[in-house]
Amino acid sequence: MTGRHGFAVAVAVVLVACTSGPTGRFTVNRHELAARCDGGPGPTVVFEAAVGGDHSLWPIADRIKGKALACVYDRAGQGDSSVPDTPLTAETDVADLHALLATAGIPRPIIVVGHSYGAQIAWVEVAEHPDEVAGVLLIDATPPSGSNLLESVLNDKQRKQFHDAFVGLRNVDFLTSLDQAQTHYGVQPTAYVTIITASHSMRPWCDVNLPCGAMQKEAMATADEFVADHLGTRAVLAETSHFVQDDDPDLVVREILRLVDLVSKAD
């Protein structure tokens, strides 16, 4: 779940030359965030990577820029963005995104595409700034804590092992973010919502002797519960690992463009 590259200076120069939207480094909430928007006309699509990830995890952004303004950026502490003074959470990342949209002049409302931890950010953004979100695509969203079905199949020792895997992540307080996402669980957004659930997202936990089969079953049940609790949500099953956009990019692109079409027709 880590980013592969930062914005190299030479590449940034080329990006500035060929992009058609806001691009550069923007100061928000005492951070500098690197962002690139390209494409259009059409709605704005903002991509949110998994924990520790940066813009380089979204090569599929190039595939939608003929029908939308595709925006990728590095959250604070990732890629070419500055390192925060303290670990961030989903809510502080949303505050940064909200400020970035205004500071960079990125057209709103937006469609947010979030993977894993990025899906938590997308959901909190929908909850806290409903007027600036027209659509959201949650890709194998990390289930929130609290009433989390996923942890119901773990004993105390396994639950500690599971939590410990997320402690000390670079620049992110992941467990607090899970709690924050849970507080917004009951929001009924007016935005179009699609959730993609991966069929094999829990497989890596087999390698550390956690009951990955039972965990996968409960992860699927968590997604089903989310759909039942949020009427109008479109549910899509991906026969992939946790990294759906890498294993089946065509599926993710289709679902993004579906949201783009819905938002365009609603204008």
Within a domain: 1: no
Listed in order, strand segments (DSSP E) in the chain are: 23-28, 31-39, 44-48, 69-73, 110-115, 133-139, 192-198, 234-238
Residue 14 has a pLDDT of 36
Tokens of 172: 């992110």
Residue 12 has a pLDDT of 37
Residue 212 has a pLDDT of 94
Q: Of 238, 242, 236, whose CA–CA distance to 258 is shortest?
A: 236
Which residues, 6 or more positions from 57, have their beta carbon under 8 angstroms from its beta carbon?
3, 4, 49, 50, 115, 245
CB 91 within 8 A of CB 126: no
Within a domain: 3: no
Distance CA 65, CA 138 (A): 20
Q: Of 83, 36, 76, whose CA–CA distance to 58 is shortest?
A: 36
Within a domain: 32: yes
Within a domain: 174: yes
Residue 148 has a pLDDT of 64
Residue 168 has a pLDDT of 75
Domain that holds residue 33: 9-266
> Count of domains in the chain?
1
pLDDT tens digits for the chain (267 residues)? 444 343 333 333 333 334 478 999 999 999 899 999 999 889 999 999 999 899 999 999 999 999 999 999 999 999 999 999 888 999 999 999 999 999 999 999 999 999 999 999 999 999 999 999 999 999 998 766 444 667 889 999 998 998 888 887 888 998 889 889 889 999 999 999 999 999 999 999 999 999 999 999 988 988 998 999 998 999 999 999 999 999 999 999 999 999 999 999 987
The CATH number of whichever domain residue 24 belongs to comes to 3.40.50.1820
Within a domain: 33: yes
Within a domain: 4: no
Q: What pTM did the predictor assign? A: 0.89
Within a domain: 126: yes
Whole-number Cα distances in Å, 27 to 33, 108, 139, 200, 207: 6, 19, 28, 39, 41
Within a domain: 260: yes
Which residues, 6 or more positions from 158, have their beta carbon under 8 angstroms from its beta carbon?
210, 211
